[in-house]
Amino acid sequence: MTYTDLFIDFDDTLYDTHGNANLALHELYEHFGLDRYFDNEQGFTEPYWLANIQLWTQYSRGEITRDYLIVERFRRPLSMGMGERVTKEFCLEVSDWFLESCADKPGVIDGAHELLEHLRHKGYRMHMTSNGFHEVQYRKLKASATLEYFHTVILSEDAGVNKPDRRFFDYAFKVSGARPESTLMIGDNFVTDIKGAKDAGLDVMFFNQHPDEFQTPEPVNYEVHHLSEITKIL
């Protein structure tokens, strides 16, 4: 198949969202003196990640709002150490600090810059597709020196719906000028990136970083475990 356009997920496909967030959580723990309330840092970060994963899943389904996610992903872990002292105002303060810290972290997935350079050299039109927050994503693109590679930045807040909703991909086609029959979706989340794109009529490439833990529940056009493998396909 010959592709002209690539829809590429950003968080944890190109940008090391998890790694950068862990750095920011460590800084947050120290900045707010959370050792007063928790026996150790892990007592805060483990429930944070549990809440964050659950809430982002709900957000991608349209079950909760962005504002609810922002507050709740900190209210849950903080409550385990601070109890009723956790207020909405404090959660918002923590969230603002966290997002500021995350947005300036430059870390990318191993091989990301090499892949983007390869794809640009090959002449592909690349479009970043993400459910991430508008103001944060642009800062992360700039911090990671990846913005220059994309013809279009397609965000769910602009589309009005999240991946995997078919309407997100309809919006992506409209603003990018890409066509389903000549577009490949590359992403690490099987539900939001892969299943969503398949349902919208795209070929898909699943970036499965943990193949021993996750087996694809349905066929995909391509599956890779390292970004360097993509350069041998495209």
198's CB contacts (< 8 A; 6+ apart) are: 204, 218, 220
Domain membership of residue 83 as a residue range: 17-103
Judgement on whether residues 222 and 125 belong to the same structural domain of the protein: yes
Residue 208 DSSP symbol: -
Cα 84 versus chain centre, distance: 31
Q: What is the pLDDT at residue 115? A: 98
Q: Are residues 97 and 135 in the same domain?
A: no
Distance set, CA 10 to CA 18, 29, 45, 112, 189 (Å): 12, 26, 23, 10, 11
Q: Are residues 156 and 212 in the same domain?
A: yes
- Stretch (H or E) spanning 56: helix 42-60
Sign of CA dihedral 84, 89, 95, 98: negative
> Which pLDDT value is given to residue 1?
73
* pLDDT at residue 203, as a whole number: 98
In terms of domains, do 72 and 127 share one? Answer: no
Residue 64 belongs to domain with CATH number: 1.10.150.240
Do both 45 and 137 map to the same domain? no
Residue 122 and residue 78 share a domain = no
pTM: 0.92
Q: What pLDDT, on the 0 to 100 scale, is given for residue 133?
A: 87
pLDDT tens for the 234 residues of the chain, in order: 799 999 999 999 999 999 999 999 999 999 999 999 999 999 999 999 999 999 999 999 999 999 999 999 999 999 999 998 899 999 999 999 999 999 999 999 999 999 999 999 999 999 999 998 888 999 999 999 999 999 999 999 999 999 999 999 999 999 999 999 999 999 999 999 999 999 999 999 999 999 888 899 999 999 999 999 999 999
What CATH number does residue 182 fall under?
Answer: 3.40.50.1000
